[in-house]
Amino acid sequence: MSIQTYQNNSVETASPGELTLMLYNGCLKFIKSAKKAIENKEIEKKNTNIQKAQNIIRELMVTMDQDYEVAKEIMSLYDYMNLRLMEANINNDLEILEEVQGLTEEFRDTWKEVILQTRKSVHQVQGGRA
């Protein structure tokens, strides 16, 4: 099985929570690539990677469930992150990329914990019935 096939299968079989986790990880990958591109003075590569990170942030914004009160706070943070990525792109600013990377890591780590807690709850409920 090729890596591409494996990745496609992973996405197709992932739960919505796992897909969100993949988006955070992808965003982090693109931010790190953009930082490296700035350091190597590869402006086109930096631009491409920051735009990919922005696309992921926008995807997270579009797919967010607005029924929860916390969604408004998260949405404003996503909006802030998107604006900061634009600034980082315009100014080739590593510090801003560090800041957005930190925020993305916090979201990712929190999301990972939510998935773990959800799995524990599901297994406990299923285990209690068996």
Residue-wise pLDDT for 9-61, tens only, equals: 565 677 888 999 999 999 999 999 999 999 999 999 999 999 999 999 999 99
CB neighbours (10 Å) of residue 12?
A: 7
Give the model's pLDDT for residue 4: 60
Domain 17-129 has CATH 1.20.120.340: yes
User: What pTM, to 2 d.p., does this model score?
Assistant: 0.84
On the CB side of 63, CA atoms within 13 Å amount to: 11
Distance between CA 118 and CA 17 in Å, rounded?
A: 10
Residue-wise pLDDT for 65-84, tens only, equals: 888 888 999 999 999 999 99
The DSSP call for residue 66 is T
Is residue 99 within 8 Å of 83, Cβ to Cβ? no
Residue-wise pLDDT for 70-119, tens only, equals: 899 999 999 999 999 999 999 999 999 999 999 999 999 999 998 898 88
Separation in Å, CA 89 to CA 4, 38, 51, 56: 29, 9, 9, 15
Domain layout of the chain by residue ranges: 17-129
Question: Can you state the angle between helices 16-39 and 43-63, rounded to 10 degrees?
Answer: 160
